Structure 1
């Protein structure tokens, strides 16, 4: 960023920080209404499986979601480990934060064409993806969304699950493969320790330098990431794109699709949001707002760009 852009950023960030406290008080009086448990809670696993096999996919969803009753959906998951990790992430967020997420009703280990896991959860009614709702929002409504996301992201970083704090990646007692645009389009790992995760990015830097040496890419003109970038792990959604943020009729923001969630370095959330917005070619106003919502990591972002991680020029 230029000097002027830096000054403008810090002034805007300071103003938002001033608004955080009163907005947090205001937010504590809102939130989604409490609802009764769905009738499908009384169904057997076999009844849910049968209903999910015949139900249509939920319109407008990127996930493999089917609606099996007026208030219940089922998500088809690829791997059982991912199924249990995602369901645990949703439960941790529901119990430890004020963030509206669908209530997870149960998981079912079941072999289907998409994989071998099912997550049964509440349907969020009368909502729009933020991707669709954002253009029609007023300036005040967009500011409210930004402030809400700031609050959500602070709360997400505070989620605790001690057995997973030292293992990068999805919530599990053993290391799992990691997904996220910070790794490219393919999953990487597993990483048994944070040092192993650091080694992955050191190897990515070495590969970039090797490709430059062969003339396949320009030189990164940078050294490996400083070890301080891997000093801690925090809970991270890791896929906060505009399709995974829903706005309901009461203007409550819901966060869905916790399949990539886990414990990662603090800068992962910011880069994940940036990369997703670039890849999806989201509205410029949303892309500019990300640095005010997630904790920015400008130097790491530049480092990643130098070694080839850039999604801004992908074809539609």
Structure 2
């Protein structure tokens, strides 16, 4: 029998009156049901009632974001029971232990829904985002711990530079966006970066105040439970962003444009088509 590996407890829900101790990293023995698997991240169903998300690309902030939403709103969310970390070879692996919630993603079920059901789901999701928008802003653009905003767009800049602080103004955020764009595209788009530096201060404008943003709102991240209640999952990129950011990332994620999802997206979120178009064009230049 292998020896137990040491791990750190970053969070543990002390309010539970469970008959058995909460599962730990040492309780994963390979017999679990795999719910999802990608590079650096696995989701396993443990002891029927739990879901554990773990890997080198899983970070504690995702669990903290979920705890923050659960504490600050009535938005339905999978309950977080524990957050662990342990050193495995050359990497730090984070484990987020949460409630297993049965259901089907909106991506998988969308084609089978009629217009009335789609509308009902969209209007329910609207109430969730209305609550998120009403959360008291911290006075900066960044993650809930005061670090820089989370987004795939910024991965290069955060990997190459030791940036640990949030951004004070929308102008600071624009500079950050252009810096990330320049690092990703290099000489290939050097002149376009100069153009963005010129126009973004005019076209990328919210109302000056950050709002709490899920930042990966797409149908694969909406779980419809058996009773019909939608649940938003995957909070790893949630941060304080300008008002236009949620809609812009949601539009960019609507790859293919093969159905009517966009018609309902505007029921869920306020529309910011101008900012969305600029950001989508820039991301396409960065990644495609």
Residue among 68, 71, 78 paired with 1:102: 78
In structure 1, the residue corresponding to 2:70 is in which secondary structure?
helix
User: Does the CA-based 8 Å contact 2:149-2:239 persist in structure 1?
Assistant: no
* Alpha-carbon spacing, 1:49–1:221, altered in 2? closer, same or farther (3 Å): closer
Gaps of 5+ in 2: 1-14
Aligned equivalents of 2:214 and 2:129: distance in 1? 9
Match in the other structure for 2:216: 239
Residue among 134, 139, 157 paired with 1:166: 139
Q: CA-to-partner distance for each residue in 1:87-131, whole Å, 9 max, x for gaps?
A: 221122222222211000111122348742111110002x10111
Gaps of 5+ in 1: 1-35
User: Does the CA-based 8 Å contact 1:99-1:152 persist in structure 2?
Assistant: yes
User: Does the CA-based 8 Å contact 2:35-2:45 persist in structure 1?
Assistant: no
Number of equivalenced pairs: 261
Match in the other structure for 1:178: 150
Q: Please list every run of at least 4 consecutive aligned residues from structure 1 whose deviation after the TM superposition is greater than 6 angstroms.
A: 204-208, 219-222
* Alpha-carbon spacing, 1:260–1:53, altered in 2? closer, same or farther (3 Å): farther
Match in the other structure for 2:167: 193
Kindly state the Cα deviation for residue 272 of structure 1 after the two structures are TM-superposed: 1.3
Aligned equivalents of 2:118 and 2:37: distance in 1? 23
* Alpha-carbon spacing, 1:97–1:64, altered in 2? closer, same or farther (3 Å): same
* Alpha-carbon spacing, 1:290–1:38, altered in 2? closer, same or farther (3 Å): farther
Residue among 281, 284, 291 paired with 2:266: 291
Q: CA-to-partner distance for each residue in 1:252-289, whole Å, 9 max, x for gaps?
A: 101111111111111111111111112xx364211332
> Higher helix share goes to which structure?
1
In structure 1, the residue corresponding to 2:68 is in which secondary structure?
helix
Residue among 50, 59, 63 paired with 1:72: 50
* Alpha-carbon spacing, 1:223–1:204, altered in 2? closer, same or farther (3 Å): farther
Answer yes or no: is 1:111 the counterpart of 2:83.
no
Kindly state the Cα deviation for residue 187 of structure 1 after the two structures are TM-superposed: 6.6
User: Does the CA-based 8 Å contact 2:81-2:98 persist in structure 1?
Assistant: yes
User: Does the CA-based 8 Å contact 2:56-2:94 persist in structure 1?
Assistant: yes
Match in the other structure for 1:144: 120
Aligned equivalents of 1:288 and 1:187: distance in 2? 34
Q: CA-to-partner distance for each residue in 1:191-221, whole Å, 9 max, x for gaps?
A: 532343221235568899x85676x99x779
Structural RMSD (CA)? 3.6
* Alpha-carbon spacing, 1:77–1:159, altered in 2? closer, same or farther (3 Å): farther
Aligned equivalents of 2:155 and 2:182: distance in 1? 19
User: Does the CA-based 8 Å contact 2:248-2:280 persist in structure 1?
Assistant: no
> TM-score, length-normalised on structure 1?
0.69
Aligned equivalents of 2:37 and 2:189: distance in 1? 40
* Alpha-carbon spacing, 1:299–1:100, altered in 2? closer, same or farther (3 Å): same
Q: Equivalences for 1:15-54 in 2 at 5 Å?
A: 39=18, 42-43=20-21, 48-54=24-30
Answer yes or no: is 1:254 the counterpart of 2:231.
yes
* Alpha-carbon spacing, 1:192–1:221, altered in 2? closer, same or farther (3 Å): closer
Q: CA-to-partner distance for each residue in 1:16-66, whole Å, 9 max, x for gaps?
A: xxxxxxxxxxxxxxxxxxxx96847x426xx52122242435335665211
> Higher strand share goes to which structure?
2
